[in-house]
Chains A and B, each alone.
Chain A
C-alpha cells in the first residue's frame, strides 16, 4: 500500500512538472471544407504542410447528402469554434458570414486569378477551383451515329441530333439519348445548373443582365419559352425512370455504361468516370434558337478566412503555399483532380471532362454562373418542384412555362 502511495505521488509530481514546463505553442489552423471526395488528398497535403512548416492544419470535410455545411458552421459559430478557413458558395452564404470574413485584398495569389470572390473592390474569397458544365457527350457514339458535335450549339441543332440518335437507339445499344435527373434529391441539376441556361446562356461572360431583369420583374417571354422548350427536349429524350426517381449514381452510371449519349452534369463527374473506355467532351447547351457556342464555367466555391482567427498570418501563408509551391499545385490538380483557378499553375487535370472545360475556357467560349443571384430556397423549394412536375409529365410545356413565369414574377415582388 505504501509503495503504491509513493508511486502515485511520484506520478503526480511528474504530471505537475510537465504541465508547468514552458512549451512553445504550436500554430493550429482549422479548416472546414465542402468536398468529401477530396478529403483524403487534403489530409495528405495538410500533413505534408505540417512536416514542412510546423503549422498544424486540421481539415474537416462536410458536404454531399450526409452533411449540410451551413448548419455545421452555425453550430461551430454558436460553440465558439468557428474554423479559420471555410467555404462560401455565393452571395447568400457570404452575407451570412460577412461580419467575420477577413479582407484578403493584396494577397499574392489575387493577381493570379480572375475568379476571386469580391465584395466591391475588396477581395474576400479564394477560389477553390474552376468547374464547368454543359452537355457531356460520348464522342464515340456520336461518331458512330454520324453526328458532328460542332452542330450542337443551338436548339435546332439538338432537335436534329437527338432525333437521329433516338432512331438509332438499338444500333447504338443505348436506353435513352440523354441521361438527365430531375427527381427528389436531384433538384440541383435542374433548378441550379439547368436554370442557369435561362440566366446566362449566350451572354458575355460576367453579364447579369437577364438575371437582373428577372429580379426586377421583367420577364423576356421569348427567352423563357425557348428555354422551356429546351428543358422539355431534354426530358423527352431522357430515360423516364432515371429522370423522375434516379439519383446521382444512376444518372452518371447510365452515361458511364454507354447507355446514354449525353449527360447533363459538370466536370466533377470525372472522378466517377475513371473507368470509361470512350472519348468524351462538353457541348454547349441549346437553350435558344440563336447559336450559343460556349459552356458554363466559374468557381463553384471560395475559401474565406475568419478575421477573428488567432493565426491570421499563418492562414494567409497557407493559402499562398497552395498556389505557389509544387506541393500545393500537385494537391490541387493531381491529387484532388480539380481545374486550378490560378494562371501560374500549368499542371493539367487528368479527367477528360476537366480537360474539355479547360479547352473551352482557353478558347474564351464560356458563360457565367448567375443562378446564385436567386436564393437557394427559391431554387430548391420553388423551381425544383416545377421541373419535377414536367418530368413526371404532370404538366404540359405551356403549363411549365406559366409556372416558371409566375414563380419568377412572385420572386421579384418578394425579394
Chain B
C-alpha cells in the first residue's frame, strides 16, 4: 500500500511508471463489467453444472447431494434416445449448413447485383430473423399442416396433399426449410458485406483478360469471401447444433419412427432431448451430463471447422 501511495507523490522521476499504472487500471476497470458478467453467467453456472453432472442432484427437495462419479455419463451413453438424438442432430446440422449457406449466398449475390430496390430486398430477406423461433414454428406448422394441403385441393397437385410434418424423415426437411427461412437472411448480410469488399479492379482485370462470369466467380469472388465462409460456417454449425425453439414448436420432437427396434420420437434434436431428460425424465443430473457431452462435441466440431476453413482463406 505504501509503495502505491509513494507512486502518486510528486516525483518527476517516476512519472512514466505512474502513467503505466493508471493505464493498467483503466484497462481493468473497463474490462471489469464484461469479465464480471462472463464469470457470473458463464463460468460459475458452467462449473456448478459440471459438478452436478457427477452427482445425483435432482433440483428438488432432496436430503443430500451425493457424488456418483461417471454414472450419469455412462447412463447417458446407454440411453438409445440420446444416441438417436446425436445422430439425427448431426444429419440435421449437415443439411442445415448446406441449405442455409447456399440460400444465403444466392440471396447475397442477388442483393449485391444491380437490382432495383435491392435495399428493400435485403431488409425483406433479413426480416424473418427478427421473429422469435417459437412463433415461427407455430406459423410454419399451420403452413405445412393446413395451407399446403389446402393448396393441393385447390390446384389438384396430389404431391402437396401430404404434410411434411406427418413423417419423421420429411419433418427433418421441414425443420431445415424453416430454419433456412429464418437464418438465411442473417447469414446473407455477412456475405453481402464480404461481396462488397471484393475489389472491383480485380474483377475488371479478369474480365479484360477474357475470363467469363463463372471463371471470375470461381477464381476471384469465392477466394475473396473465404473469411466470411469461416464465420458463416461457424455460426450455422453452432446454431444448427443448438436448435431448440423451432424444434419444440414446429415438430414437438415427433412424429415417431423406429430406431434399434423401438419406437422413438423422430425429430427430437439434442438440445430438446436434454431438456426432456430434465423436465420429462426428471433426471436433472443426467441431463447435465448430456449437456457437458454436447458442449464437448460442439467445441470439437467447431474448432475443426474453423481450422479447416481458415486454411482456405487468402490474403491479398
Is A326 interfacial (CB-CB < 8 Å)?
A: no
Contact partner of B251 (CB less than 8 A), chosen from A71, A92, A184, A241, is: A184
Are the CB atoms of A99 and B63 closer together than 8 Å? Answer: yes
- Greatest chain A CB density within 10 A among B58, B145, B149, B163 is at B145
Q: A184-B253, A394-B258 are in contact. Are A78 and B59 (CB under 8 A)?
A: yes
Are the CB atoms of B252 and A376 closer together than 8 Å? Answer: no
Are the CB atoms of B58 and A96 closer together than 8 Å? Answer: yes
Contacts of A71 in B (CB 8 A): 278-279
Contact partner of B167 (CB less than 8 A), chosen from A377, A386, A392, is: A392
Contact partner of A376 (CB less than 8 A), chosen from B58, B253, B282, is: B282
Is B276 interfacial (CB-CB < 8 Å)?
A: yes
Contacts of A92 in B (CB 8 A): 282
Contacts of A382 in B (CB 8 A): 262-263
Contact partner of A74 (CB less than 8 A), chosen from B60, B165, B253, B266, is: B60
Are the CB atoms of A385 and B282 closer together than 8 Å? Answer: no
Q: A244-B166, A381-B81 are in contact. Are A99 and B255 (CB under 8 A)?
A: no
Are the CB atoms of A96 and B265 closer together than 8 Å? Answer: no
Contact partner of B258 (CB less than 8 A), chosen from A99, A100, A389, is: A389
Question: Mask for B81-106, Cβ within 8 A of A = 1, else 0?
Answer: 10000000000000000000000000
Contacts of B282 in A (CB 8 A): 70, 92, 96, 375-377
Question: Mask for A76-113, Cβ within 8 A of B = 1, else 0?
Answer: 01100000000000001000111110000000000000
Question: Mask for A218-243, Cβ within 8 A of B = 1, else 0?
Answer: 00000000000000000000000100
Contacts of B60 in A (CB 8 A): 73-74, 77, 96-97
Are the CB atoms of B258 and A74 closer together than 8 Å? Answer: no
Are the CB atoms of B263 and A386 closer together than 8 Å? Answer: yes
Is B316 interfacial (CB-CB < 8 Å)?
A: no
Q: How far is the CB of A31 from chain B (nearest CB, A)?
A: 18
Q: How far is the CB of B43 from chain A (nearest CB, A)?
A: 18
Are the CB atoms of A381 and B279 closer together than 8 Å? Answer: no
Given A184-B251, A382-B263, A392-B255, 6 other A-B contacts at CB below 8 A?
A: A245-B255, A377-B282, A380-B276, A385-B256, A385-B265, A385-B266
Going nearest first, the 5 A-B pairs with the smallest beta carbon separation are: A184-B254, A385-B256, A388-B256, A385-B263, A99-B61
Interface of B toward A, CB cutoff 8 Å: 58-63, 81, 145, 149, 163, 165-167, 251-258, 262-266, 276, 278-284
